[in-house]
Amino acid sequence: MNSQQSATRLRFLAGARRAVPLLLPLLAFGVSFGLYARQTGFDAGAALLMSMITFSGGAQFAALGALAAGSGLVAAVLAVVLINSRFLSMGLTLAPDLRGSRWQRLLAGQLLVDETWLLSRRRNGRHRWEFFLAVGVIEWLIWALGTLLGLLFAEHLPAPETLGLDMAVAAFFLALMVSQLDDTNKRAAAIGSALLALLLLPFGQPGLALLLAPLPALIWLSLPTHTRRRNSRTSAAQIPASNPESGND
Amino acid sequence: MIENSWLVVIAVTLATAVCKTSGFWFRDKTLPVPITRVLPVLAPALLAAMVVNTSFAGNGHIAFDARIGGLLVALAALALRLPLLVVMALAAAATALLRALI
């Protein structure tokens, strides 16, 4: 093995290690999806296939929730698009760092979920390809395994909520967010988006807050008077999409 | 009872795949300035919204329940600079305990 291969392997392992804290909560939520599919009368084989090829927890729960409420397939697909609309903005920053042919990139793009995007993201806004792949493959396996366990043993396992695992995931996201609040613009974006999400809760569409999350930041960044010390670099006229963010790593 | 499970899987998978790869079409395009300026602050904004959704989402309303305890414990643990796994475990334990008590 040459040194470049071993460096790639080391980065892959480093990426895998970042996913470790999430293994148990993800497994539990895979189980809860399997359980939910059973409760809603969804075909068990179809539920497992869904976890393997859709690979988007929020979308899968939203779709089954809409169908179980009798909303029909069109409404279910709309709910899925709303929940997953955040992938548009995530894909914008991810695309330049995917490797391989067009088809390989499209396939790898299916590994895009919140955790793969967040854990592969570097401070300069680029993404580590090996981290993205490592977290994606591990999470895909755990999600499919959890779904299978949920479908098989649902009635014998405790609900993730009983163990507080939903808030373990929230704590993970919170810790990730706090570690990134290193300048005024990011703090403003986080506070604005949190407030907007609170305001949108009565509408009962969690995807809406994720779709509109960039909006408060857009408004904040267009304000002319406040001090934006660390962001002056990005004010240059137009920056190619392949390198949307400059800055230190 | 949900019918046409397999059709649902195909429809939901296609919709998700389109969303996941929608950003890729702009790979070599020049994006408008407001978008390139928002992208660096995108992660904290999305994370904040996800934390709020997980902590306060009721069924179409804001819910104040055991999850607030878990959120506060997580914030305290982060302020004390405890390791990530400890922060997650404490948040889960506090939430589970409050759920059992309430």
What are the chain A neighbours of B9 within 8 Å (beta carbons)?
Answer: 46, 49-50, 53-54
Q: Do A180 and B44 touch (CB under 8 A)?
A: yes
The more confident residue out of B40 and B27 is B40
Radius of gyration over every alpha carbon of chain A, rounded to an integer in angstroms = 20
CB proximity under 8 Å: B 44-63 to A: 44-62
The more confident residue out of A245 and A112 is A112
pTM of the predicted model, to two decimals?
0.79
Q: What is the mean pLDDT of residues A60-71?
A: 84
Select from B4, B41, B93 the Cβ nearest to the Cβ of A186: B41
Q: What is the mean pLDDT of residues A179-183?
A: 88
Q: Do A53 and B11 touch (CB under 8 A)?
A: no
pLDDT at A2: 74
Average pLDDT, chain A: 86
Ranges A63-67, A239-243, B52-56, most confident: B52-56
- Rounded to two decimals, the ipTM of the complex is 0.89
* Residue B68, amino acid: I
Q: Do B23 and A90 touch (CB under 8 A)?
A: yes
pLDDT at A241: 41
Work out whether the CA dihedral A162, A204, A198, A210 comes out positive or negative: positive
pLDDT at A242: 40
Three-class SS of residue A240? strand
The more confident residue out of A5 and B72 is B72
In whole angstroms, give the CA distance from residue A69 to residue A48: 21
B3 token code pair = 């019918």
Q: Do A167 and B8 touch (CB under 8 A)?
A: no
Angle between helices A165-180 and B42-56 (to 10 degrees): 150
Residues B44 and A213 sit within 8 Å (Cβ to Cβ): no
